[in-house]
Chains A and B, each alone.
Chain A
Amino acid sequence: MENYLLILIGTVFVNNIVLVRILGLCPFMGVSKRLEASIGMALATAFVLTLGSGASFLIDKYLLGPDLIFLRTLSFIVVIAAIVQFTEMYLHKQHPLLYQVLGIYLPLITTNCAVLGIPLIIVQERHNLLEALLIGFGGAVGFSMVLIIFAGLRERLESAEVPAIFRGSAIAMITAGLMSIAFMGFAGLAK
């Protein structure tokens, strides 16, 4: 039990996927201009990341095994793309409201490197299914949290008096860097 808690803390804070592992930077910079959009993106990613981690783990364990390691990246991409498509169709039919909130971000997740990165990390570290799901979920929570915090910061920066040369992307990059440094402070808290 303690082990699982440590995994969760470890993936959300210590090895935060965006700020420590530096994965999934495209949505982090791209979809963080408005808080509303970033919440949609965070929700969609969280959903796909958790499901994708579990599915890729099962594929790796029962379909590929130790002999076909070279198929990992290829098969994970296929599976994740299919999961995203399936999720989109399901939501469109069953939860039109949620589908509208997530909007274009849902199909965009297919190309999010965090969604492929976490399953690859999981299979390299030899976990079991529950741990794999937890890591996927923890990564998703970490991603969502950082994305939403960053979007909030950027909305405030819009109205702040920033020196002319730092305006726009420059100040966003600096903010991201500072956040990353802050998250490095969690190092050593849990593995």
Chain B
Amino acid sequence: MSTALLIMIGLALFLGLVLGYAAIKFKVAESPLVQKIDAILPQTQCGQCGFPGCKPYATAIASGEADINQCPPGGEEGIHKLAELLGVDPKPLNAEHGVPKPKSVAVIDEELCIGCTLCIQACPVDAILGAAKHMHTVIAKECTGCELCIPPCPVDCIQMQVVQEDLTTWKSKYPLHEIRNV
């Protein structure tokens, strides 16, 4: 019994060490530009830009396949940051991809929820907690406000609630002064 345990533990430790070493040794440096662009994007993973998430959109911007004005959750602020990073002129948000909305989180009306799990599958950031035939709820801290959970809900029990700005949620806006076209 103990031999079996020791062997499995030893095997797991050994393989873990080998893989850990390989992860360092064979680390593939990602394009630093993609990482910088990805850091600016809001990480809502909402897909409004037409890409499956923020990382694919960042890759597309870096390779010149996508424009910088396709991210509604990032808003003007995000476009200005991207423009500065890439050294191009900022342009207005492309309305095809949606309009910027105030930061909000999804709230599930727990009285109405039938526990169908459809919203759990739709959530790109795993912010919805629940099990089949049990009430679901949104982890407000994890929710990015992407609204992807609203269309699949069969009983329309999910609403978006605007996050009120207070001392705990306040962030400095960018740019602090309006940029004037000269």
Interface string of B1-35 (1 = CB under 8 A from A): 00110011001100100110011011110000000
Question: CB distance B7 to A64 under 8 Å?
Answer: yes
| A63 closest partner in B (C-beta) | B7
Question: CB distance B19 to A93 under 8 Å?
Answer: no
Interface string of A12-50 (1 = CB under 8 A from B): 000000000000000000000000000000000000000
Interface SS majority for chain A: helix
- Interchain CA distance A155-B23 in the complex, whole Å: 39
Question: CB distance B11 to A92 under 8 Å?
Answer: no
Question: CB distance B22 to A86 under 8 Å?
Answer: yes
Question: CB distance B11 to A78 under 8 Å?
Answer: yes
Question: CB distance A89 to B8 under 8 Å?
Answer: no
Chain B residues numbered 50-68 whose CB sits less than 8 Å from any CB in chain A: none
Name A89's contact: one of B4, B15, B23 (CB within 8 Å).
B23
Q: A63-B11, A86-B18, A93-B27 are in contact. List 6 more A-B contacts (CB 8 A).
A: A64-B7, A71-B7, A71-B8, A82-B15, A85-B19, A93-B28
Interface string of A51-78 (1 = CB under 8 A from B): 0000000010001100110110011001
For B25, the chain A residues whose CB sits under 8 A away are: 93
For A68, the chain B residues whose CB sits under 8 A away are: 3-4, 7
- Interchain CA distance A39-B3 in the complex, whole Å: 42
Question: CB distance B26 to A75 under 8 Å?
Answer: no
For B3, the chain A residues whose CB sits under 8 A away are: 67-68
| A94 closest partner in B (C-beta) | B26
**Max count, chain B CB within 10 A of own CB: residue among A70, A79, A93:** A93
B residues contacting the other copy or chain, number (CB 8 A): 15
A residues contacting the other copy or chain, number (CB 8 A): 20
Asked whether any CB of chain B lies closer than 8 Å to the CB of A166, the reply is: no
- Could you list 18 examples of A-B contacts with CB < 8 Å? A59-B11, A63-B7, A64-B7, A67-B3, A71-B7, A79-B11, A79-B15, A82-B15, A82-B18, A86-B19, A89-B19, A89-B22, A89-B26, A92-B26, A92-B28, A93-B25, A93-B27, A96-B28
> Closest Cβ of chain A: how far from B55's Cβ, in Å?
16
Asked whether any CB of chain B lies closer than 8 Å to the CB of A90, the reply is: yes
Question: CB distance B4 to A71 under 8 Å?
Answer: yes
Name A93's contact: one of B8, B11, B26 (CB within 8 Å).
B26
> Closest Cβ of chain A: how far from B23's Cβ, in Å?
6
For A70, the chain B residues whose CB sits under 8 A away are: 4
For A82, the chain B residues whose CB sits under 8 A away are: 15, 18-19
- Interchain CA distance A79-B19 in the complex, whole Å: 11
Chain A residues numbered 83-136 whose CB sits less than 8 Å from any CB in chain B: 85-86, 89-90, 92-94, 96
Question: CB distance B8 to A90 under 8 Å?
Answer: no
> Closest Cβ of chain A: how far from B19's Cβ, in Å?
6
Question: CB distance B28 to A75 under 8 Å?
Answer: no
- Interchain CA distance A96-B26 in the complex, whole Å: 12
| B24 closest partner in A (C-beta) | A89
- Interchain CA distance A82-B27 in the complex, whole Å: 16
The 10 closest A-B pairs by CB, nearest first: A93-B26, A82-B15, A89-B26, A89-B22, A92-B28, A86-B22, A93-B28, A85-B19, A68-B4, A71-B4
- Interchain CA distance A64-B15 in the complex, whole Å: 16
- Interchain CA distance A133-B7 in the complex, whole Å: 24
Name A78's contact: one of B4, B15, B26 (CB within 8 Å).
B15
Interface string of B85-114 (1 = CB under 8 A from A): 000000000000000000000000000000
- Interchain CA distance A74-B4 in the complex, whole Å: 11
| A82 closest partner in B (C-beta) | B15
